[in-house]
Amino acid sequence: MSDTTQEQSTPRPTWRVMLRSAATSSYLTSFLAIVVALLIGAILIGAADAQVQQTAAYLFAQPSDFFGAVGHAVGGAYSSLFQGAVVNVSTANNAADVIAPITKTIAYSVPLIFAGLALGIGFRAGMFNIGAQGQIILGAVLCGYVGFSWHLPIVIHVIVCLIGAFVGGALWGFIPGILKAKTGANEVIVTIMLNSIAVFLLGWLLTLQAFRKPTSNAPISPTMDPSAQFPHFFGTPIDLGFVLAILAAVGVWWLMERSTLGFRIRAVGENPDAARTAGMNVSMTYVWVMILSGGLAGLAATSQLLSSASQQLNANIASTFGFDAITVALLGRSKPVGTVLAGLLFGGLRAGGYLMQSVTGTPIDIILVVQSVIVLLIAAPPLVRALFRLPDPERRRRATSRAHARSTREEVTA
């Protein structure tokens, strides 16, 4: 058969096939989850606005006033959110002011990207590691101590601080990993306990002379040495941390898609019994997953200590990055590219939320509601498909399985 005949006999995908493929894509589900969350946020913004509440009293008499007030409240809030997260075109005096919001978004996204990558590795191994909060704290402890107590040359100091952050998080991740491998302990329970232990451990350390700032009564550490701080680019909030986060994403992609360890991680995540039957050491895979996950989470602390964010150990050094990273990893489908984009999205929500609150008076808690709704919808894809009447991607597979089982029964009966 000639090449031309083969090309003619090969069925080409039609527009219906491509449309179905797009409709069943997980990326579309994630996008629609964000859309629904923003719509719910718009309802809450309108409900919280005083002008909307006033015009609602005579809604049926003059509905145009009500809908105009809703449009003004929602449009103003989301416009401020955009200008605080992407570009400022209304009050900017120069080019630097125009791009200042996107630089803040990038800076805010760095710890979320690190922690999201950390949790994504665990999710793909079938492990629900929710201990990133504690792992960030332990990474901050080692990174901070090296940063303010050791006096090293500038490049070496930054490298040693990064190593300290990774080692601190890795050690805190090793504990639930080895417990699961040796005793079968549930990593969810263990990491929850370790989060609490890390918080109280940090509080105790900040009372010690070795960690406490001599001239302050507050529980904070000395400031990081200038030699341990990240360099900033072009006078913006973007520093070396963002470059390292992107490199970490590339490294995680290579690990998961091109390395032997990544293959074992994916195999264990898909079916640990089959992986064990194939000769893989499932227990040690769990340990390595938690070490790598903890180390990456520990690196999230560097954006607080080695940049202009804090530069001091304090009780709130981890903020809520460890818990927000769960949302980032879920929204990014535990893939490096998706995690980076999700980290930028949530960094933008955080950066723009402050401007939205200050300009329009909209409560910043609405941003937390938007994030929570995204988590809910990402965790329940059938709900999103039901809302938008999208086809079920597993429907054909289930139908094929039922048909195969039916034919098998008929053959056995015959």
**What ranges do the domains of the chain cover?**
111-336
* pLDDT per residue as tens digits for the range 14-59: 777 676 676 667 778 888 888 888 899 999 999 888 899 999 989 8
Please tell me the predicted confidence (pLDDT) of residue 107: 92
By three-state DSSP, how is residue 239 classified?
A: strand
Residue with tokens 């994030």: 371
Please tell me the predicted confidence (pLDDT) of residue 89: 78
If one counts every other C-beta atom within 10 angstroms of the C-beta of residue 409, the result is 10
Please tell me the predicted confidence (pLDDT) of residue 218: 86
Residue with tokens 């797009």: 22
By three-state DSSP, how is residue 365 classified?
A: helix
Runs of H (alpha helix) within 225-335: 240-258, 260-270, 272-277, 282-299, 302-305, 321-331
* Spatial distance between the Cα atoms of 53 and 73, rounded to a whole number of angstroms: 11
Residues 220, 213 contacting (CB under 8 angstroms): yes
Residue with tokens 């490294």: 251
Secondary structure string (H, E, C) spanning 148-195: HHCCCCHHHHHHHHHHHHHHHHHHHHHHHHHHHHHHCCCHHHHHHHHH
* pLDDT per residue as tens digits for the range 161-217: 999 999 999 999 999 999 999 999 999 999 999 999 999 999 999 999 999 888 888
* Spatial distance between the Cα atoms of 263 and 270, rounded to a whole number of angstroms: 11
Please tell me the predicted confidence (pLDDT) of residue 396: 62
Q: Phi/psi of residue 370, each to 5°?
A: -60, -45
215: tokens are 């001239």
Please tell me the predicted confidence (pLDDT) of residue 302: 93
Report, as ranges of residue numbers, the positions in the chain whose pLDDT lies below 70.
1-13, 17, 19-20, 22-24, 309, 394-405, 407-414
In 3D space, the residue among 218, 211, 243 whose CA is nearest the CA of residue 307 turns out to be 243
Q: In sequence order, what are the beta bridge partners of 232?
A: 239
* Spatial distance between the Cα atoms of 233 and 103, rounded to a whole number of angstroms: 10
